[in-house]
Amino acid sequence: MTLHDEAAHEVRLERLAAVAVRTGLGLRPGQELVLTAPLDAVPLARAITREAYRAGASLVTLLYTDEEAALARFQLAPDAAFDTAPGWLYEGMAAAFRAGAARLAIAGDDPSLLAGQDAEKVARANRARSRAYVPALELIAGFATNWTIVSAATPAWARAVFPGDAGEVAVARLWDAIFKASRVDGPDPVAAWARHNADLRRRTEELNARRYAALRFTGPGTDLTVGLADDHEWHGGATTAKNGIVCNANIPTEEVFTTPHKLRVSGHVVSTKPLSYQGTLIEEIRVRFEEGRIVEAHARRGEEVLRKVLETDEGAARLGEVALVPHSSPIAASGLLFYNTLFDENAACHIALGQAYSKCIRGGLSMSEEELVARGCNRSLIHIDWMIGSGAVDIDGIGADGTATPVMRRGEWAA
């Protein structure tokens, strides 16, 4: 990399940090920030820390993760270790969120880190972590505080996306893709995000006005009807957390999404992109739903892990989200398979197993658990997005009277 390239990279890195803090978090002066990042993301983590203090943060607490150490656990730890998780850590994070701290995560995991490890141990470890994470997850899913996720190019992730390139070249290409998808290539990315959020808001307003009872997806290997929760509400882009702060939970984002009714999903569907889950790749997922629950599940690769995921709890085999993304989105147009849900879910329409977002019910953020469940919201320890859209998939909105109206044709908005 030349000095000029290095200077240009630093400019875009600082712009990404500004978008993360100013648009992703909407960080307020005096607010604390809890920041997590992989070791390979140190430069971005430091840039975000600097930007947070410029924005008036009272304290940035930074927690790093180490994939080599995580892998060592599966290679060397005793069997009983896989039912253990640091509940004290997640309780502490939950306490920070309840006290008003913002949350920012930098993603950049190796999508195949645990591919060669025992699937039962992986499932047990994920289950233990999910249970321990509940106190913090409930606050995040309920938008009790402002939060966001951004990504950093790491060597292992870059190798997966660009397997034919040398290490430094692959990392540089992945950074370019991240910067472009995150809208930081222009001179004023914060303004670019404001325009993008306005576009997504217009789309959600249109869908909310139509009040569909269900969506029907049809395409190669897919005929799936997703009933929508009672009093559901579409969201996309910026949202207002319970603390009154406007944030963008995902950088990048191209989706509009809502909550399915956990009992009203039927039919069969195939995935259109691989799912990278906790270091395992799950490819060519094929499932069948009856009365909202997956009753048959297969995958060409990673099927054992998929089955373990579905056994996490009663809600793990039901849906908590359905999202619409045009096939012409910038991430889809890149032609890249990112092996990272944050990006790949913004290249295609998708569904999510597990926990529903209470904000996708009208008035849901102030409702009790019982009120949300009564409207069809699913509850689970997990929330896992996987892609079912493509340029060959059509979507119809089904009215309360059964009338079908085109929503998407061949992956693009019908109107």
The C-alpha atoms of residue 180 and residue 189 are separated, in whole angstroms, by 10
Instruction: Using alpha carbons, select from 186, 148, 195, 153 the residue that is nearest to residue 336.
Output: 153
Give the tokens for residue 163: 């397997």
Instruction: Using alpha carbons, select from 148, 149, 167, 145 the residue that is nearest to residue 158.
Output: 167
> Which DSSP helix (H) or strand (E) runs through 309?
helix 303-310
**HSE of 287, CA atoms in CB hemisphere, 13 A:** 29
CATH 3.40.1830.10 spans which residues of the chain? 3-181
361: buried, middle or exposed (CB in 10 Å: 19+, 13-18, 0-12)?
buried
Backbone angles phi, psi at 49, to 5 degrees: -60, -45
Looking at the DSSP assignment, which residues form a beta bridge with residue 150? Answer: 106
pLDDT score for 145 = 97
Kindly report the number of other CB atoms within 10 A of residue 196's CB atom. 21
76 dihedral zone (left: phi>0; alpha: psi -120 to 50; beta): alpha
pLDDT score for 141 = 83
The C-alpha atoms of residue 180 and residue 343 are separated, in whole angstroms, by 12
The DSSP letter of residue 364 is: G
Give the tokens for residue 248: 């963008």
**HSE of 11, CA atoms in CB hemisphere, 13 A:** 11
The C-alpha atoms of residue 162 and residue 184 are separated, in whole angstroms, by 22
Looking at the DSSP assignment, which residues form a beta bridge with residue 361? Answer: 232
Give the tokens for residue 175: 């950074």
pLDDT score for 384 = 93
Chain-centroid distance of CA 100 in Å reads: 23
Q: What is the CATH number of domain 3-181?
A: 3.40.1830.10
The C-alpha atoms of residue 330 and residue 334 are separated, in whole angstroms, by 6
pTM: 0.86
The C-alpha atoms of residue 261 and residue 319 are separated, in whole angstroms, by 8
Say whether the peptide bond before residue 163 is cis (omega within 30 degrees of 0).
no
CB distance 288 to 268 below 8 Å:
yes
pLDDT score for 278 = 73
Give the tokens for residue 364: 């849901």
Kindly report the number of other CB atoms within 10 A of residue 187's CB atom. 8
Residues 6+ apart with CB under 8 A from 212: 228, 397, 398, 399, 405, 407
Name the CA dihedral angle for 5, 6, 9, 14, rounded to a multiple of 10 degrees. -150
pLDDT along the chain (415 residues), means of 10: 75 96 97 97 98 98 96 96 96 97 96 88 91 92 94 96 95 96 91 95 96 98 98 95 95 96 98 85 95 97 92 95 95 90 91 93 90 95 93 97 97 91
The C-alpha atoms of residue 307 and residue 280 are separated, in whole angstroms, by 13
